[in-house]
């Protein structure tokens, strides 16, 4: 079902008109209400009323996370805190969190766009939603919650963690839909497997997975191990939270962006130049209708491409590819740019491996070196019959040695850099306990 067909299936020329009208209004709004934007526009010689077309976008200044940090906590809000109904924050790895605010109307919008996303994912009124996203300052839990309720679902606010209890509730309440990070969906799948519960015995039909990067090979794992159709949900706190885009279950080929509210662009990370459709670059969003924290050309750091060909689901909303990585996740190994998702794509092609891996980056003298640690499957592990996969065991066991060398070869072949590959025993790579999973361990910073 399409939750708001009048917008989601709007003819594209009409969508452009709507976006242009809203862009004009929001530029005026921020100019009048947010000193930061007034100064930026004045310095660039931009008169707000002159912004009437999407072609004017490249003239507007980019907003970055550092701008939010520099105006911590509420300095970029366009309304007084007395008009704010809720505050969320995303924890930065360093320093202060990024703080975001919502008026009552923003919260209604938040629920509407998430309801759209859930419907895109296959959810329908009357179904039960098991919501494993964390409740609290993180936008995932409360965001999915309100969207589910608005769609007419019964929402189970489990939050992240306490996997035992999640399995009990999933078994007893028999929800059709689960919302979680992709890595946590795999943690749950593994728990079911260990209890001898088969995918066809699990009530789930649809999984709405996001908040961290994942790949098509991981999707296949989730689909088969939980017996679901998994779709990608994307978003970020600054733009709204979850609800910026979602794949439709009909095509599962790119996430439909709610572009009547969040205007997407893809720009070249090096030059800042706007890129044409289909080209990969950094996603930049302008919020068209938010009141408390409107943002002009917000630099997400996420790498993706945009496409607007018709979709078989009947929606006309443009689609974004899966996120390839973040500009700040990018590793430069001997001059070559590498994203963790590229490594994951190689590993995902091999049936002897589980989706559990991590990448350890270290520095010897001036050279960065990368080690990929990946777990083999239980079946494959049985052939070695050891407690651990030490280097000695791998060296002496022909099948293991061949597997390790094949992975190293494919990595080198597809990415152009050599990485050390270490095979590890099942269950040894840290799992998601509900939150976002950190797959890259950067030991360079520790030196
Ligand atoms: O992660 C919002 C969210 C909650 C999205 C639940 C989806 C589901 P933040 O904590 O502010 O907000 O983190 C935003 O997470 O810039 C991306 O780098 C990453 N991210 C979010 N969704 C995806 C996704 C929430 N589907 C940051 N694929 C973003 C890849 C994602 N990365």
27 and 59 housed in the same domain: yes
308 and 424 housed in the same domain: no
Ligand 1 centre distance from Cα of residue 210 (Å) = 6
295 and 397 housed in the same domain: no
Length of the chain: 447
Ligand 1 centre distance from Cα of residue 234 (Å) = 5
Which candidate, 261, 251, 260, places its Cα nearest to that of 11? 260
The CATH number given to whatever domain includes residue 167 is: 3.40.50.12780
147 and 213 housed in the same domain: yes
Residues in Cβ contact with 239 at an 8 Å cutoff, skipping those fewer than 6 apart: 262, 285, 287, 295, 298, 300
Say if residue 94's pLDDT is above 90: no
Say if residue 446's pLDDT is above 80: no
13 exposure class (CB count in 10 Å sphere: 0-12, 13-18, 19+): exposed
344 and 291 housed in the same domain: no
How many other CB atoms are found less than 10 A from the CB of residue 132?
A: 30
DSSP type of residue 276:
P
As a whole number of angstroms, the distance between CA 315 and CA 249 comes to 12
User: pLDDT averaged over the chain?
Assistant: 94
383: pLDDT confidence band, cut at 50, 70 and 90?
A: confident
Which run of H or E residues covers position 325?
Answer: strand 325-326
As a whole number of angstroms, the distance between CA 210 and CA 217 comes to 15
The pTM (predicted TM-score) of the whole model is: 0.92
319 and 379 housed in the same domain: no
200 and 285 housed in the same domain: yes
36 and 160 housed in the same domain: yes
Ligand 1 centre distance from Cα of residue 95 (Å) = 19
Ligand 1 centre distance from Cα of residue 103 (Å) = 21
Considering just the CA atoms, what is the radius of gyration of the chain in Å?
A: 23
Give percent of the chain above pLDDT 90: 84
299 and 320 housed in the same domain: yes
- Residue 115 is encoded by which pair of tokens? 């309801």
Ligand 1 centre distance from Cα of residue 394 (Å) = 37
Of 327, 345, 367, the residue at which a domain comes to its end is 327
Q: Among 116, 211, 243, name the best residue to mutate to test ligand 1's pocket (greatest count of ligand atoms within 8 A of Cβ).
A: 211
**Nearest Cα residue to atom 23 of ligand 1:** 211
215: pLDDT confidence band, cut at 50, 70 and 90?
A: very high
Q: How many domains does the chain have?
A: 2
**Which atom from ligand 1 is nearest to the alpha carbon of 241?**
2
Range of the domain at 161: 1-327
Tokens 């494959």, residue located: 380
pLDDT tens by residue, 308-330: 999 999 999 999 999 998 888 88
| Torsion angle (degrees, nearest 10) of CA 196, 204, 354, 348 | 150
User: Looking at residue 386, what is its pLDDT?
Assistant: 77
pLDDT tens by residue, 292-309: 999 999 999 999 999 999
Of 327, 355, 382, the residue at which a domain comes to its end is 327
Which candidate, 93, 59, 87, places its Cα nearest to that of 286? 59
36-45, 158-167, 357-366: least confidently modelled range? 357-366
The CATH number given to whatever domain includes residue 419 is: 3.30.300.30
pLDDT tens by residue, 97-109: 899 999 999 999 9
123-127, 227-231, 332-336: least confidently modelled range? 332-336
Q: Report whether 187 contacts 104 (CB < 8 A).
A: no
291 and 335 housed in the same domain: no
**Which atom from ligand 1 is nearest to the alpha carbon of 133?**
6
User: Looking at residue 93, what is its pLDDT?
Assistant: 55
239: pLDDT confidence band, cut at 50, 70 and 90?
A: very high
Q: Report whether 231 contacts 209 (CB < 8 A).
A: yes
**Which atom from ligand 1 is nearest to the alpha carbon of 138?**
10
308 and 337 housed in the same domain: no
Phi and psi torsions of 392, nearest 5°: -60, -45
Q: Kindly report whether the peptide bond that precedes residue 178 is cis, defined as omega within 30 degrees of 0.
A: no
**Phi-psi category of 189—alpha, beta or left, where left has phi over 0 and alpha has psi -120 to 50?**
alpha
Ligand 1 centre distance from Cα of residue 212 (Å) = 5
User: Looking at residue 408, what is its pLDDT?
Assistant: 96
Q: Report whether 123 contacts 176 (CB < 8 A).
A: yes
**Mean per-residue pLDDT, 238-252:** 98
Of 299, 327, 355, the residue at which a domain comes to its end is 327
User: Looking at residue 429, what is its pLDDT?
Assistant: 95
Query: In a 3-state reduction of DSSP, which class is residue 68?
Result: helix
- Within 6 A (CB) of ligand 1 lie 90, 133, 138-140, 210-213, 232-237, 241-242, 300, 302, 323, 326
Which candidate, 262, 257, 284, 6, places its Cα nearest to that of 109? 262
Which run of H or E residues covers position 319?
Answer: strand 319-320
342 and 205 housed in the same domain: no
As a whole number of angstroms, the distance between CA 260 and CA 235 comes to 15
As a whole number of angstroms, the distance between CA 158 and CA 97 comes to 24
Say if residue 445's pLDDT is above 70: no
Q: Among 63, 146, 235, 247, name the best residue to mutate to test ligand 1's pocket (greatest count of ligand atoms within 8 A of Cβ).
A: 235
**Mean per-residue pLDDT, 380-405:** 86
């Amino acid at each position: 079902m399409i939750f708001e067909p009048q917008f989601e299936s709007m003819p594209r020329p009409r969508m452009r008109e709507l976006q242009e009208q809203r862009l004009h209004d929001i530029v005026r709004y921020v100019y009048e209400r947010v000193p930061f934007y007034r100064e930026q526009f004045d310095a660039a010689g931009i008169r707000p009323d002159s912004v009437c077309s999407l072609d004017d976008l490249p003239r507007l200044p980019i907003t970055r996370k550092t701008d939010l940090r520099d105006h911590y906590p509420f300095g970029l809000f366009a309304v007084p805190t007395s008009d704010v109904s809720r505050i969320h924050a995303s924890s930065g790895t360093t320093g202060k969190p990024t703080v975001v605010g919502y008026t009552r109307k923003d919260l209604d919008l938040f629920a509407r766009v998430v309801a759209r996303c859930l419907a895109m994912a296959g959810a329908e009124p009357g179904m039960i939603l098991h919501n494993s996203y964390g409740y609290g300052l993180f936008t995932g839990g409360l965001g999915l919650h309100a969207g589910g309720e608005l769609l007419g679902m019964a929402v189970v606010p489990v939050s992240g963690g306490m996997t035992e209890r999640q399995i009990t509730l999933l078994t007893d309440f028999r929800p059709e839909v689960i919302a979680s990070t992709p890595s946590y969906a795999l943690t749950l799948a593994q728990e079911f497997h260990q209890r001898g519960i088969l995918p066809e015995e699990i009530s789930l039909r649809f999984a709405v997975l996001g908040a961290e990067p994942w790949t098509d090979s991981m999707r296949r794992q989730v689909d088969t191990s939980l017996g679901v159709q998994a779709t990608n949900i994307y978003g970020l706190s600054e733009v709204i939270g979850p609800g910026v885009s979602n794949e439709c279950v009909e095509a599962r080929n790119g996430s439909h962006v709610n572009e009547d509210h969040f205007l997407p662009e893809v720009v070249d990370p090096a030059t800042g130049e706007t890129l044409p459709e289909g080209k990969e670059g950094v996603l930049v969003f302008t919020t068209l209708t938010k009141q408390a924290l409107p943002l002009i050309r917000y630099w997400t750091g996420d790498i993706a491409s945009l496409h607007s060909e018709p979709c078989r689901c009947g929606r006309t909303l443009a689609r974004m590819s899966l996120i390839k990585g973040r500009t700040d996740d990018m590793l430069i190994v001997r001059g070559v740019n590498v994203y963790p998702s590229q490594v994951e794509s190689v590993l995902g092609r091999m049936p002897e491996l589980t989706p559990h891996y991590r990448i350890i980056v270290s520095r010897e003298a001036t050279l960065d070196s990368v080690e990929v640690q990946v777990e083999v499957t239980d079946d494959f592990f049985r052939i070695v019959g050891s407690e651990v996969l030490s280097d000695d065991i791998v060296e002496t066991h022909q099948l293991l040695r061949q597997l390790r060398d094949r992975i190293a070869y494919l990595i080198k072949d597809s990415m152009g850099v050599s990485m050390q590959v270490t095979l590890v025993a099942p269950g040894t790579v840290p799992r998601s306990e509900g939150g976002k999973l950190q797959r890259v361990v950067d030991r360079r910073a520790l030196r």
